[in-house]
Chains A and B, each alone.
Chain A
Amino acid sequence: MRGTVRAVADVSLSLEKGSTLGLVGESGSGKSTFGFSLLRMIPPPGRIMAGEIDFDGTELLQQPEDEMRRIRGSQISMIFQDPMTSLNPVKKIRDHFIELYRTHDRTVTKEDAVSRAAKLLDSLGIGGDRIDDYPHQFSGGMRQRVMIGLALALNPKLIIADEPTTALDVIVEAQILELLKQLKTEHQLTMILITHNIGIVAEMTDTIGVMYAGELVELGPTEDIFEDPLHPYTKGLLESAPNIVHPERSMRPIPGSPPDLLSPPTGCKFHPRCPRVFEPCPYKEPKLLERKRRLVACHLYDSVRS
């Protein structure tokens, strides 16, 4: 035991029905941990120390484990990072669906589950006849389609997509994103998209939350953030990806690496890497305050009134 890591702290946000939130940040910034905590699935020894999760009027942290289990998959479901290992290798695709349907509703017959699944897979671009195949008979993109099917099967109110295309090649990635986009409009999905790919976020989301060292540093409408990033970290993040609008601008990576959360820097956690650091930064922790129609946690905007 070396101490407590606050992997996610002081992240407060709300999500409108039918909208998509993109969570971006470097590896280890707490994006996935935030996603898992919504389902109360933080792998031990991690745990949720404090907070509130109001899901459509239900306080999730107060629910008994049994109730929580019912919510997982049917109310809130998840699309995972690595489709290659997210399906049980010894079970046919049909069995994945049968189990999912029957776990949440005992009255669904196997035939019923299979026919619903076949229809669903058809709409996701997988022939319904392939439902009798095993996962290893599918390519990565196809498996991710199956995973999306599983996530959608029970019409959940919220879908958490944890880097859904990271393990896929570019062409398949584009296909999967296209599919997600189409499903979003068709089903009025509410989605949290966790990714470190800025491009995906620009294309898919209505709102962006930028996370650094377990904290939300900026939150606002996607367009605004791309046009005028307020937080120096957001700026750095945008500049470290190729700019399509201004290809002549070279990429500028953020120097340094994310802090060790066992002994995080004092004050603003970003100050050791920040190009615009000034005197309050190492001493005072910036609060997430509303500035220019969005929330930002940076001392640069302490004096700006919105």
Chain B
Amino acid sequence: MSEDETYGRIFLRLLPRIRGLSKRGLAGWAILVGGTIVSLLAIMTVLAPWISPYDPIAINVGPLLSPPSSQYPLGTNHLGQDMLSRVISGGAIMFQVSILSVIVCLLVGVPIGLFASFKGGFTDKMSSLVMDSIYAFPGLVLAIAIAAMLGPGVVNMALSIAVVYVPSYFRIIRSQVLTIKELPYVDAARMMGAKTRTTLVSYILPNVVPSIVAVATINFADAILTAAGLTFVGLGLSVSTPDWGWDLTYGRRLLTSGAWWVIAFPGLMVVLLALGFTLLGEGLSELFSPRLEK
């Protein structure tokens, strides 16, 4: 069986599932709507270089602070940049930062959570202590502090967001592992001679994956809001990159002069993307946790 064939089959098997989602009640609809919003925005971001009418970082493509018009559908900002082009292209940074931070979280949080809670005892106590102390901080404040130390840049933003969210992964995984490791089939595997690593990777991990997926999607939503927050306080990127967060920062100052369009549209996009991920995440976690079913 070739790789292509496998992917093709997976896709074909997914199709009826996607249709089936609408029958899964509210959770199914949340996944459908959230998934649609996220995929549309992702497609828009990927296609940005071809579909944006102007160069998003070129200045003086139009008059300064022109309100939405037929030529500039979303208006222009104080540098004469076309807002529509910036709105279309600005998502790239959001996606990069959030994807990168989720990857870092997965790479750090999942192994620690799995190993420490499976091992139990001192290892578990220590890592829980560290994770809970991070968890105790307000997320945005901690992210700002770390980003301020690391300096601006996509990777640094992603890292500072990751630090904030690793404990969420740790906690959810820990709670699951504590239950799963007591199940007879884990014992059975060990009594049949399985190594600790095998037990963790092929007996415990697959049963934790659904919760990880749910946390990761919610993590996406939070990462986007935090990323916007970081740029908003000036810890984001330079003006040469189209970025919704940057537009928010400058749009705020222009709002008093009546130019609502500079802040409104990028702000709307941030909300929309975060909403998409939140719906997706909440829907998935609802679907994956049968104990919440009535």
Contacts and interface: CB of A to CB of B under 8 A. Distances in A.
Given A80-B188, A90-B207, A85 B194 contact: no
A87 B206 CA distance: 13
B185 A99 contact: no
A182 interface: no
A89 interface: yes
Given A69-B193, A99-B194, A41 B187 contact: yes
A91 interface: yes
Interface in B3-25: none
Nearest to A39: B191
Interface string A67-100: 0011111100110111001111111000100011
A287 interface: no
A85 B184 contact: yes
Interface in B167-210: 183-185, 187-195, 198, 202-203, 206-207
A103 B198 contact: yes
Given A69-B193, A103-B193, A86 B206 contact: no
B191 A72 contact: yes
A184 interface: no
A43 B181 CA distance: 12
A5 B229 CA distance: 57
Given A85-B184, A86-B184, A41 B191 contact: yes
A150 B192 CA distance: 8
B53 to A, nearest CB: 49
B289 to A, nearest CB: 15
Interface string A117-151: 00000000000000000000000000000010011
Contacts of A6: none
A291 interface: no
Nearest to B182: A43
Given A99-B202, A103-B198, A88 B193 contact: no
A14 B171 CA distance: 48
B193 A73 contact: yes
Contact of A85 (B185, B195, B206): B185
A294 interface: no
A88 B187 contact: no
A235 interface: no
Nearest to B209: A90
A89 B198 contact: no
Determine the interface band of chain A, counting residues with CB < 8 A from chain B: 20 to 34
B185 A72 contact: no
A186 B203 CA distance: 33
A88 B202 contact: yes
A82 B184 contact: yes
Contacts of B187: 41, 43, 80
A104 interface: yes
B190 A70 contact: no
Contacts of A39: 191
Contacts of A99: 189, 194, 198, 202
A90 B195 CA distance: 18
A73 B192 contact: yes
Contacts of A70: 193
Interface in B126-185: 183-185
A95 B202 CA distance: 10
Given A88-B202, A91-B206, A74 B193 contact: yes
A70 B194 CA distance: 9
B192 to A, nearest CB: 4
Contacts of A41: 187, 190-191
A39 to B, nearest CB: 6
Given A41-B187, A85-B184, A87-B185, A103 B203 contact: no
Contacts of A86: 184-185, 188
Among B183, B190, B191, B202, chain A packs the most CB atoms within 10 A around the CB of: B191
A90 B203 CA distance: 8
Contact of B189 (A77, A88, A89, A151): A88
Contacts of B192: 72-73, 77-78, 100, 103, 150-151
B90 to A, nearest CB: 40
Among B191, B192, B198, B206, chain A packs the most CB atoms within 10 A around the CB of: B192
Contact of B193 (A72, A81, A89): A72
A168 to B, nearest CB: 15
The 7 closest A-B pairs by CB, nearest first: A73-B193, A73-B192, A72-B193, A90-B206, A85-B184, A86-B188, A86-B184
18 contacts: A41-B190, A69-B193, A73-B192, A73-B193, A78-B191, A81-B184, A85-B185, A86-B184, A86-B188, A88-B189, A89-B185, A90-B207, A91-B206, A99-B189, A100-B192, A103-B193, A103-B195, A103-B198
Given A95-B202, A99-B202, 15 more contacts: A39-B191, A41-B187, A41-B191, A72-B190, A77-B192, A78-B188, A78-B191, A80-B187, A81-B184, A85-B185, A88-B206, A90-B206, A99-B189, A99-B198, A103-B192
Interface of B: 183-185, 187-195, 198, 202-203, 206-207
Interface of A: 39, 41, 43, 69-74, 77-78, 80-82, 85-91, 95, 99-100, 103-104, 147, 150-151
